[in-house]
C-alpha cells in the first residue's frame, strides 16, 4: 500500500517536472525568437529609414520637425515620389562617379588577382631566401594607418608629375595602382592559405606532363583555386568601391568615386537628404549583389584569414 502510494506520487512528480520542462522549453523558444526579432530590428531599421527617405519629397524632409507631432518625420512617406531616382544625376553627377567607380574597381580587381596569385603561388610552392621576410612584410602593411602614407604618397605623386611629367593624381591608372596595392596584402595571404590546400602532386604531375611552371600555374592551379580567386577579386572590388581616405585627396572631377562623390549632396547651403538616400541605395547595389552571390566564398575567406592568419 505504502509502496504503491510512493510509486504514484513519484509518477505525478515526474509528470509535473516534465510539464515544467516543457513550459521552460517553450519560454526559451519564445525568448529565442524575441531575441532574433530584436536583432533584426536593430540591423534593419537604418536600411528601412534609408529606403523610406529615398521615396520622400525633399520638401517633406526639409519641413519635418521632431518637436511638432503634425510634422514629425515618418516611416511611410506622406507623398510617395520616384523623383530622387529619376533625377539621380541632376544635382550631383552621380552617374559619372558611378562609371569612375566601376572602372577603378574593375581595374583593381583585375590587377590584384594577377599580382597576388603569382606571389601567393611563390609563397606556397617555393622555398627561397627571405620568404619569411616577404610574408612578414606583406602582413606588416596591414598595421599602418592609411594616413601615414597618404602624405608622402601625395607628395610623391606631385614630384613625379613635376620631374617626369606623368600625372598620377586624378587619373584612372593612378587610382588603380593605389587600390591594387591596398588589396594585395590580404589577397596574397588569403590565396596562399587557399593554395596550401591544393596538393603539390598536382602541379608536379602537370610539369611531368610537359607544362612549364607558368603553364602549370595557369592551366592547372588557377582553375583549381577558382573559389579563392573569386573571393580575392570581390574583396578587391569592394575595397576599391568603398575607399574614402585616399579618394578624397587623390581624385578630382575626372575620377571621383561614388564613396566620396556622395558627400556632395550635403553642402553648406543645402541638404538634399532624399536624393542622397536614393544615391546610397544605388551605390550599395553592386556591393550587395557581389556579396550575395559569393557570400560563401567571402565568408570562408574572411573567417579562415582571421582564424588561421
Partner 1 sequence: MGMLSKAKGTRRAYWFILPAALCMLFVHFIPIIWGAYISLLDLDVYTLTQWTSAPFVKLGNYIKLFSGKFAVGQRFLRSVYNVFVYGLVTIPTGYIIGLLVALLLNRNFVGRTFVRGIILLPYITPDSVAYNVWRFIFQARIGLVNKYLLKFGLIQEPLVWLVGKRALTAVIIASIWKGWPFACLILLAGLQGIPAELYEAAKIDGASVWQQFKMITLPMLAPVTKTLLLLNVIWNFHAYNQFYILLGGSVGEAHVPSTFIMQEAFTNLHYGMGSAMSVVLMILIVILIAILLRSKRRASYES
- Site residues for partner 1, 144-163, by CB under 8 A, read 144-156, 158-159, 162
- The nearest distance, CB 115 to partner 1, in angstroms, is 5
- The nearest distance, CB 68 to partner 1, in angstroms, is 10
Which position among 102, 103, 106, 115 is part of the footprint of partner 1 (CB under 8 A)?
115
Q: Which three cell numbers stand for residue 246?
A: 585616399
Stretch near partner 1 under the rule CB under 8 A, chosen from 10-18, 87-95, 223-231, 237-245? 237-245
283: closest CA among 266, 260, 302? 260
Does 136 bind partner 1 (CB under 8 A)? Our answer is no
Residue 255's SS3 state is coil
188: closest CA among 224, 134, 129? 134
Nearer to partner 1, 2 or 128 (CB): 128
Query: What is the distance between the alpha carbons of residues 221 and 140, in angstroms, rounded to a whole number?
Result: 27
Does 168 bind partner 1 (CB under 8 A)? Our answer is no
Stretch near partner 1 under the rule CB under 8 A, chosen from 76-84, 86-94, 223-231, 234-242? 234-242
Query: What is the distance between the alpha carbons of residues 230 and 191, in angstroms, rounded to a whole number?
Result: 10
Neighbours of 287 (CB within 10 A): 15
Q: Which residue has the cell 601567393?
A: 120
Which position among 13, 27, 39, 226 is part of the footprint of partner 1 (CB under 8 A)?
39
28 and 21 Cβ atoms separated by less than 8 Å: no
Tell me which residues in 48-77 interact with partner 1 (CB under 8 A). Answer: 49-50, 53, 61-62, 64-67, 72-73
Does 197 bind partner 1 (CB under 8 A)? Our answer is no
Does 27 bind partner 1 (CB under 8 A)? Our answer is no
Site string for partner 1, 247-266 (x = CB under 8 A): -xx--------xxx-xx--x
251: phi then psi, degrees, rounded to nearest 5? -105, 150
Neighbours of 255 (CB within 10 A): 22
Does 30 bind partner 1 (CB under 8 A)? Our answer is no
Q: What is the DSSP letter of 144?
A: S
Does 122 bind partner 1 (CB under 8 A)? Our answer is yes
Rounded to 5, what percent of the chain is helix, strand, coil? 75, 0, 25
Site string for partner 1, 74-103 (x = CB under 8 A): ------------------------------
- The nearest distance, CB 67 to partner 1, in angstroms, is 6
Which position among 166, 226, 254, 303 is part of the footprint of partner 1 (CB under 8 A)?
303
Does 277 bind partner 1 (CB under 8 A)? Our answer is yes
Q: What is the DSSP letter of 309?
A: -
139 and 210 Cβ atoms separated by less than 8 Å: no
Amino acid at each position: 500500500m505504502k509502496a504503491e502510494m510512493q510509486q504514484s506520487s513519484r509518477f505525478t512528480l515526474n509528470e509535473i517536472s516534465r510539464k515544467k520542462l516543457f513550459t521552460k522549453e517553450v519560454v526559451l523558444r519564445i525568448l529565442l525568437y524575441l531575441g532574433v526579432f530584436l536583432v533584426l530590428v536593430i540591423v534593419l531599421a537604418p536600411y528601412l529609414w534609408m529606403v523610406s527617405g529615398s521615396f520622400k519629397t525633399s520638401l517633406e524632409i526639409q519641413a519635418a520637425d521632431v518637436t511638432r507631432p503634425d510634422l514629425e518625420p515618418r516611416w511611410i512617406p506622406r507623398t510617395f515620389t520616384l523623383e530622387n531616382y529619376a533625377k539621380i544625376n541632376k544635382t550631383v553627377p552621380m552617374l559619372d562617379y558611378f562609371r569612375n567607380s566601376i572602372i577603378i574597381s574593375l581595374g583593381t580587381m583585375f590587377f590584384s588577382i594577377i599580382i597576388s596569385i603569382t606571389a601567393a603561388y611563390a609563397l606556397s610552392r617555393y622555398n627561397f631566401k627571405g620568404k619569411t621576410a616577404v610574408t612578414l612584410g606583406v602582413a606588416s602593411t596591414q598595421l599602418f594607418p592609411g594616413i601615414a602614407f597618404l602624405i608622402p604618397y601625395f607628395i610623391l605623386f606631385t614630384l613625379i608629375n613635376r620631374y617626369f611629367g606623368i600625372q598620377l593624381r586624378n587619373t584612372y591608372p593612378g587610382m588603380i595602382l593605389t587600390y591594387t596595392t591596398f588589396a594585395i596584402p590580404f589577397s596574397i595571404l588569403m590565396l596562399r592559405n587557399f593554395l596550401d590546400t591544393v596538393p603539390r602532386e598536382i602541379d608536379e604531375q602537370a610539369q611531368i606532363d610537359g607544362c612549364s611552371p607558368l603553364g602549370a600555374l595557369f592551366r592547372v592551379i588557377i582553375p583549381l583555386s577558382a573559389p579563392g580567386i573569386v573571393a580575392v577579386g570581390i574583396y578587391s572590388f569592394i575595397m576599391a568601391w568603398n575607399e574614402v581616405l585616399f579618394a578624397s585627396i587623390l581624385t578630382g572631377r575626372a575620377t571621383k568615386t561614388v564613396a566620396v562623390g556622395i558627400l556632395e549632396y550635403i553642402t553648406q547651403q543645402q541638404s538634399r537628404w532624399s536624393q542622397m538616400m536614393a544615391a546610397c541605395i544605388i551605390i550599395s547595389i553592386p556591393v550587395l549583389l557581389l556579396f550575395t552571390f559569393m557570400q560563401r566564398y567571402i565568408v570562408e575567406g574572411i573567417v579562415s584569414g582571421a582564424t588561421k592568419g
